[in-house]
Chains A and B, each alone.
Chain A
């Protein structure tokens, strides 16, 4: 490990070219995340939340600066190395769930394990354990189309946690959910954070999510505007 932080960004810059114009999505972002955090990147649309999340998740690379994730410099990773980092250590939760439509709930959750050479028996045990975690063991044979939005997001959470990754990146995980489902989902993630020590980083501007955070990083125009610890207002408990 190059440092003791799970994630560290140094002068992180990301620009997109739009025709002749360059749009700066991230502007010299310097952040450090420790293991077990329950942190949110907040800010208005276009503030760079998702871009930062994508770079941390090695789905994208910075224009300049550095993002060190679990000791690996994202900007130096090849496509295959980035894929391996995501495969082994990072779970993703998307706003639109991104479940694979032709697979059952069980197969969707099992999917990351297929890439990790677990035996069929281990896969089955771990998949059912993850589904029980999110309270959907009884829907294992259902197809995504048969689930409600809240249930779909819980399947996505189970898929993200099934391999017990060190880091889960959640991009607007409650944007498509009602208040009741949002609360259920957040409590589930908070419980995972507490019980498994999984680090969660959210990109959100949803107040329901913000209420659960223990650290809030506000981004404005791609730069860190404020980085503050939070006292969770909706108690679910936490590691830190």
Chain B
């Protein structure tokens, strides 16, 4: 127990030099956890928003349905099978029909994906209830980004054209009944939502759908011939990939912060060795073995990490907790970031993130403390006492 005791005594005895390093390192701790928490929050928020708005608890896709291939949409529809109809009737699923179309806002041509959804559905947070209008109107919902790009606002009438089941073009004027403020990019841009029954009738696709969204928490996954169930892991892969790309920037910051902190420790250790050689020689003369000297100096460096974790906890926990509750109010232009984020971003600090970061910093601190200290193993006591390195 003598080594930890002496290491702590040396560390605290060094005064300002120690506390300067500890504060820098603790700052790194907090900033690393904070930035990673933001990305975790962004990730969670994007996933949650996507699940709530459109993905539900998973989706059955008609065999030919491929949202990434617009040419597949022509054939990607079929009568909803009996197995799924029972779930729809029990409000545990809702069908969506997808048809390729064109919008003509203010004389321009805008390719869109037309999606028919049941206005009475409650599975998804999509505001489909706005589509419940009188028979004399043809309501349509669009996302705010789509509205911005096309210049459309609530109450505007715009021509929508599509091809029916026979490949015949048809067109109607639709009324924009609501501009959705959504954080899910895929439904914010390039999509026009209309009542499912109307789309089925106009496209000649009675009782058909392209996909059936299953309610969150529903465990039953009946076999539906010609349909494929896609779980959330599959459906969220794009979101996760996007998050990974965004996280690359955070990782650079993470590495820079770690490097800065480690540089401070490494620098301190190097300085210690060059300035405290005579002290090491004295320790050896007093009976310290080389191993003990190495352990002492390594532990001294590593204890910077421990003290930094304690200091970081003192001001970091209140700060991060407050921040997680307040959230980060994002600037208005943030939607151009190309990411589904709400008006506020709430960081999420998982136990894994906090413990992982703490352990990582402690391990790296110990390594960078050991590396320069290892030189001591080559030091002869007589040379150390003279203040020389061998």
- Taking Cβ atoms with an 8 Å cutoff, the residues of A that contact B are 54, 57, 59-60, 79-80, 83-84, 86-88, 92, 94, 96, 98, 100-103, 107, 111-112, 114-115, 159
Min CB distance, B292 to chain A, in Å? Answer: 8
**A-B interface, 7 closest residue pairs, ranked by CB to CB distance from nearest:** A87-B287, A102-B13, A98-B282, A59-B381, A83-B289, A92-B285, A86-B287
Contact residues in B for A159 (Cβ distance below 8 Å):
286
**Given contacts A59-B380, A80-B289, A102-B13, could you give 6 more A-B pairs where the C-beta distance is less than 8 Å?**
A59-B284, A60-B380, A83-B288, A92-B286, A100-B282, A112-B287
Min CB distance, A106 to chain B, in Å? Answer: 12
Does B14 sit within 8 A of A, measured CB to CB? Answer: yes
Does B9 sit within 8 A of A, measured CB to CB? Answer: yes
Q: How far is the CA of A88 from the CA of B9 in the complex (A)?
A: 23
Min CB distance, A235 to chain B, in Å? Answer: 31
Closest to A171 in B: B385
- One of B10, B281, B287, B385 near A83 (C-beta < 8 A): B287
Does B2 sit within 8 A of A, measured CB to CB? Answer: yes
Contact residues in B for A114 (Cβ distance below 8 Å):
2, 5-6
Min CB distance, B130 to chain A, in Å? Answer: 72
Contact call B14/A102, Cβ cutoff below 8 A: yes
Closest to B387 in A: A96
Q: How far is the CA of A68 from the CA of B326 in the complex (A)?
A: 74
Q: How far is the CA of A119 from the CA of B380 in the complex (A)?
A: 31
Does B295 sit within 8 A of A, measured CB to CB? Answer: no
Closest to A51 in B: B382
Contact residues in B for A111 (Cβ distance below 8 Å):
286
Most buried by A among B279, B285, B288, B290: B285
Contact residues in A for B13 (Cβ distance below 8 Å):
101-103
Contact residues in A for B85 (Cβ distance below 8 Å):
none
Closest to A53 in B: B382
Closest to B381 in A: A59
Closest to A54 in B: B382
Q: A59-B382, A79-B289 are in contact. Are A100 and B279 (CB under 8 A)?
A: yes
- One of B2, B286, B290 near A86 (C-beta < 8 A): B286
Q: Which residues between 32 and 54 of chain B lie within 8 Å of chain A, taking CB atoms?
A: none
Interface string of B265-300 (1 = CB under 8 A from A): 000000000000011011011111111100000000
Interface SS of B by simple majority = helix
Contact call A112/B286, Cβ cutoff below 8 A: yes
Q: A94-B385, A103-B13 are in contact. Are A115 and B380 (CB under 8 A)?
A: no
Q: How far is the CA of A87 from the CA of B2 in the complex (A)?
A: 14
Contact call B382/A87, Cβ cutoff below 8 A: no
Q: How far is the CA of A106 from the CA of B327 in the complex (A)?
A: 53
Q: How far is the CA of A159 from the CA of B283 in the complex (A)?
A: 12
Task: Give 11 pairs: A residue, B residue, CB < 8 Å, sorted on A.
Answer: A59-B382, A60-B381, A60-B382, A83-B288, A86-B286, A87-B286, A101-B13, A102-B10, A103-B9, A115-B2, A115-B288
Min CB distance, B294 to chain A, in Å? Answer: 12
Contact residues in B for A88 (Cβ distance below 8 Å):
287
Contact residues in B for A100 (Cβ distance below 8 Å):
279, 282
Q: How far is the CA of A114 from the CA of B13 in the complex (A)?
A: 18
Q: Which residues between 131 and 175 of chain B lie within 8 Å of chain A, taking CB atoms?
A: none
Min CB distance, B384 to chain A, in Å? Answer: 9
Interface string of B1-36 (1 = CB under 8 A from A): 010011001100110000000000000000000000
Q: How far is the CA of A94 from the CA of B386 in the complex (A)?
A: 11
Contact residues in A for B289 (Cβ distance below 8 Å):
79-80, 83
Q: Which residues between 301 and 355 of chain B lie within 8 Å of chain A, taking CB atoms?
A: none
Q: How far is the CA of A54 from the CA of B284 in the complex (A)?
A: 12
Contact residues in B for A57 (Cβ distance below 8 Å):
285
Most buried by B among A59, A83, A84, A94: A83
- One of B278, B279, B287, B290 near A115 (C-beta < 8 A): B287
Q: A60-B380, A114-B2 are in contact. Are A107 and B9 (CB under 8 A)?
A: yes
- One of A59, A107, A112 near B385 (C-beta < 8 A): A59
Min CB distance, A165 to chain B, in Å? Answer: 10
Contact call B285/A86, Cβ cutoff below 8 A: yes
Closest to B288 in A: A83
Contact call A98/B385, Cβ cutoff below 8 A: yes
Min CB distance, B15 to chain A, in Å? Answer: 8
Contact residues in B for A102 (Cβ distance below 8 Å):
9-10, 13-14
